[in-house]
């Protein structure tokens, strides 16, 4: 695996990779990350390896997606450890730019995806999805991958990225496919996240209520056993009892993320964000109506 830190080096390395395929143009998959890797990220890498000739993983703690009250400096950084994990998974190139390489002096562009960015996590974290859209657009242009892999755990992020790529014509012939990979979960169902490391043992035990309550709500809504408003209020009560402070619970159209009051034959999703202690956890699940 080659670790590259400048754009010039990245272009040279990718040029070599693409031309060394021997059977036409090699297909390159991009797995963007902010490091602090766990099994969820490694699953993205494995899926990418199955689908492409070469995998490029990026590690960049993107300052533009952190709000003024979010501690950018405290975000875990463990480049050597992460690089070893990526190498063991067969990643060809690790793109690890410095903040100056990503945002040189005078950088003045912001990408803002209206609508999908606004509610849910966007309401609690103003500007967050602008930062995500801007850096992912840059990553797509830098790597020009044939496909890119993102976790469904950050469901709103995935919707923002898909909309941005569609609107800015970054899809075919550039990023042919933006692939959402189902959330990896711990044995008790808690979605894997680099934030789980901040939970105390008691909070970690209580946190299992989050996926449990969400799965129950998704099932009862899908079965038509409860109206959406009631299922959401049951989740709210269960989370409160387990010691969470709810940020939001929403049932939305899976594509537009517009809130819905009842299922209308289109894919729907239930999403939640809640704090336990000082840690904010998010999760979401598909609502699959029974035939
Ligand atoms: O999901 C993440 O790790 C980040 O938001 C991403 C997509 C790498 C952009 O910085």
Ligand 1 geometric centre to CA of 205 (Å): 27
Q: Do 134 and 113 contact (CB within 8 A), yes or no?
A: no
Nearest CA to ligand 1 atom 9: 132
Please tell me if the CB atom of residue 136 comes closer than 6 angstroms to any atom of ligand 1. Answer: yes
> How buried is residue 75: exposed, middle or buried, by Cβ count under 10 Å (0-12/13-18/19+)?
middle
Question: Could you read off the pLDDT of 74-110 as tens digits, one per residue?
Answer: 999 999 999 999 999 999 999 999 999 999 999 999 9
Distance of CA 61 to the CA centre of its chain: 13
Please tell me if the CB atom of residue 152 comes closer than 6 angstroms to any atom of ligand 1. Answer: no
CB-CB neighbours of 287 under 10 Å:
23
Residue with tokens 């945002």: 103
Ligand 1 geometric centre to CA of 164 (Å): 14
Please tell me if the CB atom of residue 272 comes closer than 6 angstroms to any atom of ligand 1. Answer: no
Q: Do 276 and 206 contact (CB within 8 A), yes or no?
A: yes
Please tell me if the CB atom of residue 135 comes closer than 6 angstroms to any atom of ligand 1. Answer: yes
For residue 176, pLDDT beyond 80: no
Domain boundaries along the sequence of the chain: 2-181, 194-284
Q: In whole angstroms, what is the distance from residue 256 CA to residue 132 CA? A: 18
Percent of the chain topping pLDDT 70: 98
CB-CB neighbours of 227 under 10 Å:
13
Q: Do 2-181 and 194-284 fold alike per CATH?
A: no
Q: Do 40 and 31 contact (CB within 8 A), yes or no?
A: no
Please compute the mean of the pLDDT values over residues 25-51 and round it to a whole number.
96
Please tell me if the CB atom of residue 164 comes closer than 6 angstroms to any atom of ligand 1. Answer: no
Please compute the mean of the pLDDT values over residues 237-250 and round it to a whole number.
98
Percent of the chain topping pLDDT 90: 92
Ligand 1 geometric centre to CA of 259 (Å): 24
Please compute the mean of the pLDDT values over residues 145-151 and round it to a whole number.
97
Q: In whole angstroms, what is the distance from residue 41 CA to residue 131 CA? A: 20
- Which of 17-31, 47-61, 227-241 bottoms out in mean pLDDT, i.e. has the lowest? 17-31
CATH 3.40.50.1820 assigned to domain 2-181? The reply is no
pLDDT of residue 22: 63
Domain 194-284, CATH = 3.30.1300.10
For residue 262, pLDDT beyond 80: yes
Q: Do 178 and 161 contact (CB within 8 A), yes or no?
A: yes
Ligand 1 geometric centre to CA of 132 (Å): 6
Distance of CA 108 to the CA centre of its chain: 25
Token pair, residue 53, equals 């000739």
Q: In whole angstroms, what is the distance from residue 96 CA to residue 85 CA? A: 14
CB-CB neighbours of 261 under 10 Å:
9
Q: Categorize the per-residue pLDDT at 21 as very low, low, confident or very high, splitting at 50, 70 and 90.
A: low
Question: Could you read off the pLDDT of 190-226 as tens digits, one per residue?
Answer: 999 999 999 999 999 999 999 999 999 999 999 999 9
Q: Do 167 and 113 contact (CB within 8 A), yes or no?
A: yes
For residue 172, pLDDT beyond 80: no
The reported pTM is 0.95
Please compute the mean of the pLDDT values over residues 256-270 and round it to a whole number.
93
């Amino acid at each position: 695996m080659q670790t590259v830190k400048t754009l010039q080096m990245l272009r040279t390395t990718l040029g070599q990779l693409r031309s060394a395929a021997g059977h036409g143009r090699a297909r390159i998959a991009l797995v963007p990350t902010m490091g602090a890797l766990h099994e969820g990220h490694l699953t993205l890498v494995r899926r990418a390896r199955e689908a492409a000739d070469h995998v490029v993983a990026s590690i960049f703690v993107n300052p533009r997606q952190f709000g003024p009250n979010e501690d950018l400096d405290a975000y875990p950084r463990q480049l050597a450890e992460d690089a070893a994990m990526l190498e063991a998974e067969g990643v060809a190139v690790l793109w690890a730019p410095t903040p100056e390489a990503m945002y040189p002096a005078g950088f003045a562009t912001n990408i803002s995806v209206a609508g999908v960015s606004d509610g849910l996590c966007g309401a609690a974290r103003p500007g967050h999805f602008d930062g995500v859209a801007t850096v992912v657009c840059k990553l797509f242009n830098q790597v020009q991958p044939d496909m890119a892999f993102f976790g469904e755990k950050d469901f709103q992020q995935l919707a923002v990225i898909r909309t941005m790529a569609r609107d800015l014509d970054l899809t075919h012939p550039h990023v042919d496919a933006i692939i959402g990979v189902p959330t990896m979960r711990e044995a008790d169902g808690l979605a894997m996240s680099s934030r789980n490391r901040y939970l105390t043992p008691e909070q970690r035990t209580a946190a299992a209520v989050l996926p449990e309550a969400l799965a129950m709500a998704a099932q009862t809504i899908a079965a038509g056993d409860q109206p959406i408003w009631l299922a959401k209020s049951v989740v709210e009560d269960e989370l409160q009892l387990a010691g969470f402070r709810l940020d939001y619970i929403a049932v939305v159209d899976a594509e537009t993320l517009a809130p819905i009051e009842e299922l209308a034959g289109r894919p729907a999703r239930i999403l939640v964000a809640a704090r336990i202690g000082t840690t904010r956890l998010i999760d979401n699940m598909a609502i699959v109506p029974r035939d």
